Amino acid sequence: MSLREDMDKAISEIIKEKDVEEDEVAAFVKDHFRKIFEHWKKTKTAVGETHEGLEDGSSDPVKQKTKEKFADRFIEHDKRIMEAYTQKEKRTLKKELLRLEDDRVMTRGHLHRIEALIEKLNGTDATFLEQSPPISLKDGHDLWFHLETKLKEWENRFAKIWAKKADDHTDTEHEYAKKELPLLKAEKRSIQMRLINIEGIIAKARLLAVNLNEDLCRKFSKGRTLADTGEILLQEFDHKLQENHAKGRQTIRNFLEKHLNISKTASRDLFSLLEETGILFYRVDITEDLKDAPLVYYPYEKDLGIGADPGTLYPLTGWWEISSQRLHS
């Protein structure tokens, strides 16, 4: 029954029960129903908006709380990397960068799995793995536990549905798939935005790490940049120093101390920085055809000559490669 029909019925009943003029009752009831109608329209709009919001996840209080937690986590990451940079705490900055990269791995994994569910639901030829490997939650944030639990719930439920033939799906299963698809798409959008934000803060952290490394290089080398120091090494040794790890390290350190007129402490710190940024790299002499050969650990190089099995690979020989370009942040 429509709202207009409700109004006419109510007026007729009042006229029958009360000895009043029809026009008088009609004016009162119409005014009353007008107010009810306005309230009903507002309520309907609010309910509609809430339902629509729940379908895309935007008004889901749990999802909203998750978004807020991720925003707080993002702000905390940014605060820590800025503090590490300002205080020249290189190790802290690097640890924070590693945490961010772990977050990115987790987020990429979730996006991959959400896409698999959506594409399978859309009827594409996408393959859904029933045993999709869950992401390790060891030492992870409780946010990842919440997201992983929800994602695994979706995967398990749909795996049971898709294990049946399409003709055997129940109405309840069809309804579930129809209801969950917009939620999956909303979750995908959230994950994509999360990933974009993570990529942005990783880029910032790396830029700060590069700037900090340059500051440290100037400190250790008496004002030279990483590129300048690499060029100095290239002029002395070219791109390759054919010496083993220990000897080559000492040769390069001795040269830096003498050429740059720096202390042993500075040469040690500078060498570590050059190695960390990829300007110095020790290349192990191992060929492709020996990659599956067994390895035996010897604590000292001299032990190689004592009863060593010539059929066993000992990757203790190699050379130092030198570059003037920073390869790592």
Q: At what angle do helices 22-56 and 171-221 cross, to 10 degrees?
A: 50
Cα dihedral 256, 262, 265, 266 in deg (nearest 10): -70
Q: How far is CA 221 from CA 160, 190, 280, 321, in A?
A: 64, 46, 15, 20
Please tell me the predicted confidence (pLDDT) of residue 49.
Answer: 34
Query: How far is it, in rounded angstroms, from Cα 265 to Cα 220?
Result: 9
Helix H, strand E, coil C: the string for 29-88 is HHHHHHHHHHHHHHHHHHHHHHHHHHHHCCCCHHHHHHHHHHHHHHHHHHHHHHHHHHCC
pLDDT in tens, the chain (329 residues): 454 555 556 556 555 555 555 555 555 555 555 555 555 444 443 333 333 344 444 555 556 677 788 888 889 989 999 999 999 898 999 999 999 999 999 899 999 999 989 988 887 655 555 444 555 555 456 677 778 888 888 988 888 888 888 778 888 888 888 899 999 999 999 999 999 999 999 999 999 999 999 999 999 999 999 999 999 999 999 999 999 889 999 999 999 999 999 999 999 999 999 999 999 999 988 777 777 777 666 665 555 555 555 445 455 578 999 987 765 55
Please tell me the predicted confidence (pLDDT) of residue 79.
Answer: 92
**Alpha-carbon torsion 101, 105, 111, 112, what sign?**
positive
Residues 6+ apart with CB under 8 A from 118: 181, 184, 185, 188
DSSP 8-state symbol, 321: E
Please tell me the predicted confidence (pLDDT) of residue 38.
Answer: 56
Please tell me the predicted confidence (pLDDT) of residue 19.
Answer: 53
